[in-house]
Amino acid sequence: MGWKDVHRWLGLTAGTLAVVLGLGGAILAFDPVQQSWQATAAPSDLSAATLVERVTRSIPAAQEIRRLPSGAIVVFSFVGDQAQATYVDPADGRVLGPWQPSALPRWVKNLHRSLLLGDAGRWGAAGIALGVGLLSVSGLVLLLRRMGGWRRLAARVRGSLAQRVHVVVGRVVLAVLTLTSLTALTMSASTLGLVALDAGAEPEVLSVATGQAALPVAQLAMLQSLPVQDVRRLNFPADADPEDTWKVITVQGEGWIDRYAGRTLAWRDSTPAQRIYDWALVLHTGEGAWPWAVVLGLVGACVLVFWLSGVVMWWQARQQAPHITGNSPLAQADVLIFVASEGGSTWGFAQTLQDALRQGGHRVHTAALENFETTATTRQVFVLAATYGDGQAPAHASHALAHIAKLSPGAVPVTVLGFGDRQFPAFCAFAVALEQTLRAQGWPTLLPLERIHQQSSQQFARWGQTLAQALGEPLVLDHVPRVPLTTALTLVSRQDFAGPRESNLQAPQAPQAPPAAAILRFSWPAQGPGARLRGLGLARFAAGDLVGIVAPGSAVPRYYSLASGWEDGFLEICARQMPGGLCSTHLLGLQPGDRIAAFIRANPGFALPRTRRPVVLVGAGTGVAPLAGFIRRNDRHIPMHLYFGGRDPARDFYFGPEIQRWIGEGRLETVHTAFSRVPDGGGYVQDALRNDAARLRGLVAQGAILRVCGSRAMAHGVTEALDALLAPLHLTVQQLKAKERYAEDIF
């Protein structure tokens, strides 16, 4: 069981009960705040002796003085046989009013510490506190894993609203929650009798009657030197008992004073256990520290937020769990497919492969990779493995590699197919590791490792053709990815671009000629908070993320880089007409008011981190779109430098006027352009980089972050140019990628 399972199941069980404790705690936190509001605190130089003098003047029958954690002074006395408790102003001993232990009903506290179930409930509450502690620890591990380590803890959080709420709240309150759990356990340990707080039997002391009257309190040395700040409780000697003593309990310990001679009869320091308990009490309740009580109250209320968002996340994960149809039992199957998937999409590919093999008469069994094994009937094994983050195994398959390494190799071929994203330096790293392990173990293979980029159905189909040849049987892998729920976006406006000149050389452009490209701006429908919490509706997005668009008559989404973020209030893309392209034709045919079906896909590797370092943006053609989005949101005026490559400034200088405006507004520091189809245009964008080599080297030396967007050929050219010009710095693009300073968005 991994951290994720521990966190999930503890959250659903102990976490549910922790909501009750958290809300109870949030209510209880009002008490210290309200009490410190009311308290008339003693001046810091006031001695206990003076306080007692003042108190006895206004309340002659006083028997006990308590200094509350809020600093307020309460005096207990008897009027006749009626017990009295009153607040007293320490400045003059004046009676301020009757004392009430708490403004809250008792049951709130009892609910919080024992769920109203007495001693059994106290054990239960302690168990919940332990559960919260374990949830905090596992939560921290998962948080660090998700964010990519301590250094990136403050980075932007991605995902559905529930995930973002869970992570953002967790980042803030995790430490306090851990502390609250520890202090709760400390308090439980003493209440449940596991730890003794006191130092054993009290000393046997009594005042020795000398025939004289009792000493006036002003002459009691211990009380003279004792600041009121340190007093917890002070008991007067009883009138009826001539041998009774003064007793004082302070922060440091407790002491007994002879009422006649005034000398200290005994002193006992607080035990270390008592001091720890005192600290735990303050840290857990906020007593006497109202700002901390406010923090604790808010954290208590956050438990509900945690639980709600956690339950929604769990439910979402369940919805996305794989459902494989037509699975044969393992013992009867001749083909086994093992899957390692993080988001669940790899299961879809497995289903396609399974369906195709079943059509060919095979009996196929598909299972998760951690269940890897072969049987006597097995003839072929396929491993479809995705990679999580920067080269790790998907969570469920984290031990699969070690498991496979322990098996003795069989004679059955095992073929690995990797799924990943070329943007990450460790492209399909987990699949590569699997391949290496299997080969090192001595398993044969039918086909060498193939790595599928960004869930490409086309690449998968090509691998299917190779597989069909190797198996010597017909096999077609026609994978239709399961499209996420789409949202209807409405076109608000469009800005058309005529396209490259040479296409019109033979026939001058007709006025109605269709545009070759357009910047399209969409709006999205209003979404209620309930739908957003469940991850329905359009997900939040930032410039650089992708929007998947499903054209009518097509089941395969096409992805476009976003030129705007959620905060901009519109969704903008730059689309170019692809020859015969179903989706681009659909997009460029849209009129304002028309709708498209779309969904957001996060592109976390490409997003700009929160930084003050300079940013170098390199884009060609419509690849400038996400870069324009970065510049548009550069409200903090980070030095950004844009290198733009096009064909003809009159035709495809996308965002040209905006770029000029952004320079004026200080959002963009410099722009360098290169146009390949005009005389003296400067060539390609990599030429613009070479021409500016000295300054680029300076920027990279300053720690600049680089983002490149465009075609594969362009990205290759940019890498070559940069590797050459960075050589004097002993840096390569590969190194910058590894440090997450360099990312590409390639189409």
Closer CB to other proteins, 33 or 206, in the complex: 206
Secondary structure of residue 314 in the 3-state scheme? helix
State the minimum distance, in angstroms, from the CB of residue 215 to other proteins.
22
State the minimum distance, in angstroms, from the CB of residue 107 to other proteins.
10
Chain centre to alpha carbon of residue 555: 33
Within 10 angstroms of residue 147's Cβ, the number of other Cβ atoms is 18
Query: What are the φ and ψ backbone dihedral angles of 179, each rounded to 5 degrees?
Result: -60, -45
Instruction: Enumerate the β-bridge partners of residue 574.
Output: 519
Q: What is the Cα–Cα distance from 734 to 394, expressed in whole angstroms?
A: 24
> How many chain residues bind other proteins (CB under 8 A)?
24
Instruction: Say if residues 747 and 623 touch (Cβ distance below 8 Å).
Output: yes
Q: Which of 9, 13, 98, 102 binds other proteins (CB under 8 A)?
A: 102
The site map against other proteins for 110-129 (x = CB under 8 A) is x--------x----------
Q: Which stretch binds other proteins (CB under 8 A): 193-201, 407-415, 443-451, 736-744?
A: 193-201
Q: Which of 45, 92, 204, 680 binds other proteins (CB under 8 A)?
A: 204
Q: Which of 18, 24, 25, 76 binds other proteins (CB under 8 A)?
A: 76
Nearest to 721 by CA among 672, 679, 678: 672
State the minimum distance, in angstroms, from the CB of residue 261 to other proteins.
17
Instruction: Say if residues 396 and 370 touch (Cβ distance below 8 Å).
Output: yes
Asked if 635 is part of the footprint of other proteins (rule: CB under 8 A), the reply reads no
Q: Which of 9, 78, 279, 315 binds other proteins (CB under 8 A)?
A: 78
CA distances from 488 to 485, 569, 597 (A): 10, 15, 5
Closer CB to other proteins, 193 or 553, in the complex: 193
Closer CB to other proteins, 73 or 385, in the complex: 73
Nearest to 85 by CA among 106, 108, 62: 62
Asked if 191 is part of the footprint of other proteins (rule: CB under 8 A), the reply reads yes
Q: In what order do the strands lie in the sheet with 571-576?
A: 558-561, 546-550, 595-601, 487-497, 517-523, 571-576
CA distances from 197 to 104, 281, 389, 405, 460 (A): 28, 13, 50, 54, 68
Q: Which of 20, 23, 61, 85 binds other proteins (CB under 8 A)?
A: 85
Q: Which stretch binds other proteins (CB under 8 A): 196-204, 369-377, 440-448, 623-631?
A: 196-204
The site map against other proteins for 28-67 (x = CB under 8 A) is ------------------------------------x---
Q: Which stretch binds other proteins (CB under 8 A): 198-206, 311-319, 342-350, 429-437?
A: 198-206
CA distances from 45 to 39, 91, 225, 262 (A): 17, 11, 10, 22
Q: Which stretch binds other proteins (CB under 8 A): 187-195, 425-433, 444-452, 572-580?
A: 187-195
Q: What is the Cα–Cα distance from 70 to 39, expressed in whole angstroms?
A: 6
Nearest to 177 by CA among 305, 273, 69: 305
Q: Percent helix, strand, coil in the chain (nearest 5)?
A: 40, 20, 40
Asked if 97 is part of the footprint of other proteins (rule: CB under 8 A), the reply reads no
Asked if 239 is part of the footprint of other proteins (rule: CB under 8 A), the reply reads no
Query: What are the φ and ψ backbone dihedral angles of 63, each rounded to 5 degrees?
Result: -120, -25
Asked if 269 is part of the footprint of other proteins (rule: CB under 8 A), the reply reads no
Closer CB to other proteins, 288 or 544, in the complex: 288
Asked if 83 is part of the footprint of other proteins (rule: CB under 8 A), the reply reads yes
Closer CB to other proteins, 293 or 538, in the complex: 293
Closer CB to other proteins, 106 or 612, in the complex: 106
- Residues near other proteins (CB under 8 A) are 64, 76, 78, 81, 83, 85, 101-102, 106, 110, 119, 190-193, 196-198, 201-202, 204, 206, 238, 241
